[in-house]
Chains A and B, each alone.
Chain A
Amino acid sequence: MVAPVVLVIAVIIGYPLVRGLYLSLTDATEANVARDIGMNHIPATYTFVGLDNYTAVLSDGVFWSRLGWTVVWTVACVGITFALGLTLANLLNRKMKGRTFYRLALILPWAIPAFISVFTWRLLYNEKHGLLNKLLQGGGIDAIPWLNDPTWAKLSVIVVNVWLGVPFMLVALLGGLQSIPGELYEAAEMDGANAWQRFRNITVPSLRSVSSTVILLSTIWTFNMFPVIFLLTRGGPGDATEILVTYAYRLSFVDSPRNFSSSAAWGVLILLMLSAVAVVYRRALRKQGEVW
């Protein structure tokens, strides 16, 4: 009965993966792959070039400097999102008036299509006409060049990504919290444990399997979070907010003819890095006694 699984995996993951790997070892571009466009027939003229694409990417300083910022971006986004999500989930896990309303309100960022959110943020960030600077001016503070200064732009993209990411963390962690039996807390309370001790010794360990999963997922998503960066700053100003995937996009899809092979090489490298992260992370968890 394993056949359907194998088939589906082969079709939707295996083929593109193998094809991408193959392309990354050639010099295929938009100009030399085979295609028929109406009256025009263009034959394939690309050749096998071995690891040339990889050496070109890895010997380019651009790759390493972008990798540095990508790591900072991922760690900052995941860290802040997780901390905020956990705090909010704890607050919402209590019995209080209007709990459903708050929960719904906090899910809202998730309900809006990401590109609409990002464009809205872009309007807010506009240096001269944006709401944020209008508010600051009201308080007598100078306008901040949100997207026009490298450092502010980095902060701005992180803020937007956190805003988009919190609902997911919130929902996942809230689910985790609700699966902890209330008796545990009651017993702890009887034993005289204070709120912090209960959080530290009951909540955190009980949430471990949920949080380890969401952190890994969130890391992978953030590492490859193309839309936020691309739509908000296009990687700018200059290349200040460019992460690996947006840079790969610029290198391979903005220039013409589009360079499929080097794009594939970037893709494979990104995949390798994320796989390595996942493996190391799992090992670390296993050492802590977590079965995942």
Chain B
Amino acid sequence: MRRRGIAATALVAGLALTATACGGDGGGDQKSGGELSGTVTFWDTSNDAEKATYKELAEGFEREHPKVDVKYVNVPFGEANAKFKNAAGGNSGAPDVMRTEVAWVADFANLGYLAPLDNTPALDKNEDYVEQAAGSTRFKGKTYAAPQVMDTLGLFYNKKLLEEAGVEVPKTFDELKDAAKKIKSKTGATALYLRGDDPYWFLPYLYGEGGDMVEAKGKKVLIDDPEGVRAFATIKDLVDSKAAVTDATDGQENQLKALKDGDVAMAIDGPWDIEGALAGKEFKDKGNLGVAPVPGGSKAQGSPQGGWNLSVYAGSGNLDASYEFVKYMSSAKVQQKTTEKLSLLPTRKSVYEVPSVKDNEMVKFFRPAVEKAVERPWIAEGNSLFEPIKVQMNKVLTGSATPDQAAKATGDAYRKLLKDYK
């Protein structure tokens, strides 16, 4: 009934919902002689620079379990959430295992799409997980995912350009604004690329003013407090004063390109773009890429805690192999390889002790940064908090709303979404 319900809704609304049919019904969890068999479909959300490594690692599972066929599917990050919901809700085409963003776990679990992993082989050596990373896997007393990688935002900078301009790495957005004039006149580059298209990048400005989106415990909306208004004012000021360039679309590609080509001296970005950045002409000498904490605002300095978990679809026809696959993909061995190849941050304490990980420049920077990163509200609606910010930050940057109006509109949208919040 439910599936038809959606179909009806969509039809009447005249919406173009592309139903995705991506394998995934590879059943057969029967064990032959205690051995795992069948197919495990894995949806990976890593980006173009990372996906080859993940494909190789995922297929490495087949060597340990020769009768299991791993179907690796790369699903772009931007589409993965909706695509999974369409498939999971419709009971067809959902993957057995998915790389799930930290904010999606509570959401999917709340809707009954995920299999609880407590007391399954998927959760292996739990005490080894870094606490920040494990936080996002729990929902209402159960564990619905295994942490895979963790991340936060940092300030990527072009050492050569900052040196030419004779400026230090800015510690606050004010310092960044001051340095911008020198950078422009001495090198011709713009100081910062400001992601105007993605609300996740708004968080450092918000935390920098001492604000937050909501307070889950007290059920309070915080975004329209004066801190939120100041955060919107900061991004507007950076763009208006030409210290930063921005975009309302395609920010991911544009930012990386601008940084790689030396059009901007700095960009706020996460470990997932390290590989991509190092492929650019400005960073042929890898040492030219510097990473620093995100600049602070007038009150504090903070960036959001992010990362990826591995979750198992509750309707999977091959749960046993799926649990084993999650165990394998979150194992110390695989995590070590992802760090060595992609400089991504492991979620296991023991992996940080491995020399090749310990000595990785990016890990050296990002590990302490992640420890200080601001935990996001792990509520079912956590991911839905972003869309209203996106609309309003677009509006502020294009001048069609003032910071005051933007903060108020975001707050109103939150109260509509979170009915019992004040």
Q: Report the Cα distance A252→B7, complex, angstroms.
A: 14
Q: Report the Cα distance A148→B195, complex, angstroms.
A: 12
Among B8, B89, B380, B417, which residue has its beta carbon within 8 angstroms of that of A35? Answer: B89
Q: Report the Cα distance A272→B138, complex, angstroms.
A: 45
| B86 to chain A: closest residue by CB | A253
Given A20-B9, A128-B258, A148-B247: A238 in contact with B392 (beta carbons within 8 A): yes
In the complex, are the beta carbons of A237 and B397 less than 8 A apart? yes
Among A15, A31, A238, A254, which residue has its beta carbon within 8 angstroms of that of B384? Answer: A254
Considering only residues 357-392 of chain B, those with a C-beta below 8 Å from chain A are 380-381, 383-384, 387, 390-392
Most chain B CB atoms below 10 A, which of A37, A147, A258, A266: A37
Q: Report the Cα distance A42→B387, complex, angstroms.
A: 27
Stretch of A72-80, A89-97, A200-208, A243-251 contacting B (4+ beta carbons < 8 Å) = A243-251
In the complex, are the beta carbons of B314 and A40 less than 8 A apart? yes
In the complex, are the beta carbons of B5 and A33 less than 8 A apart? yes
In the complex, are the beta carbons of A38 and B314 less than 8 A apart? yes
Among A153, A250, A268, which residue has its beta carbon within 8 angstroms of that of B387? Answer: A250
Considering only residues 227-260 of chain A, those with a C-beta below 8 Å from chain B are 227, 230, 233-234, 236-240, 245, 248-250, 252-258, 260
Contact digits for A204-230, partner B, Cβ 8 Å, 1 yes 0 no: 000000000000000000001011001
Instruction: Please tell me if B313 contacts chain A, counting CB pairs below 8 Å.
Output: yes
Among B5, B112, B394, which residue has its beta carbon within 8 angstroms of that of A37? Answer: B112
Instruction: Please tell me if A132 contacts chain B, counting CB pairs below 8 Å.
Output: no
Closest CB in chain B relative to A63 CB, distance in Å: 14
Q: How large is the interface on A (under 10, 10 to 19, 20 to 34, 35 or more residues)?
A: 35 or more
Instruction: Please tell me if A267 contacts chain B, counting CB pairs below 8 Å.
Output: yes
Give every chain A residue within 8 A of B85 (Cβ-Cβ). 30, 256, 258
Among A224, A226, A255, A260, which residue has its beta carbon within 8 angstroms of that of B9? Answer: A260
In the complex, are the beta carbons of B7 and A150 less than 8 A apart? no
Contact digits for B297-340, partner A, Cβ 8 Å, 1 yes 0 no: 00000000000000001111001000000000000000000000
Closest CB in chain A relative to B371 CB, distance in Å: 29
Closest CB in chain A relative to B145 CB, distance in Å: 15
In the complex, are the beta carbons of B15 and A226 less than 8 A apart? yes
Closest CB in chain B relative to A114 CB, distance in Å: 9
Instruction: Please tell me if A51 contacts chain B, counting CB pairs below 8 Å.
Output: no
Closest CB in chain B relative to A42 CB, distance in Å: 5
In the complex, are the beta carbons of A147 and B248 less than 8 A apart? yes
Closest CB in chain B relative to A162 CB, distance in Å: 19
Instruction: Please tell me if B71 contacts chain A, counting CB pairs below 8 Å.
Output: no
Considering only residues 115-154 of chain A, those with a C-beta below 8 Å from chain B are 122, 126-129, 147-150, 153
Give every chain B residue within 8 A of A234 (Cβ-Cβ). 249
Among A16, A19, A233, which residue has its beta carbon within 8 angstroms of that of B249? Answer: A233
Give every chain A residue within 8 A of B390 (Cβ-Cβ). 236
Given A20-B9, A148-B249, A258-B85: A31 in contact with B254 (beta carbons within 8 A): no
Instruction: Please tell me if A34 contacts chain B, counting CB pairs below 8 Å.
Output: yes
Given A226-B15, A238-B401, A264-B13: A34 in contact with B8 (beta carbons within 8 A): no
In the complex, are the beta carbons of A23 and B13 less than 8 A apart? no
In the complex, are the beta carbons of A268 and B12 less than 8 A apart? yes
In the complex, are the beta carbons of B315 and A38 less than 8 A apart? yes
In the complex, are the beta carbons of A150 and B5 less than 8 A apart? no
Give every chain B residue within 8 A of A150 (Cβ-Cβ). 398, 400
Question: What 5 A-B pairs are tightest by C-beta distance, nearest first?
Answer: A267-B13, A20-B12, A238-B395, A19-B8, A237-B248
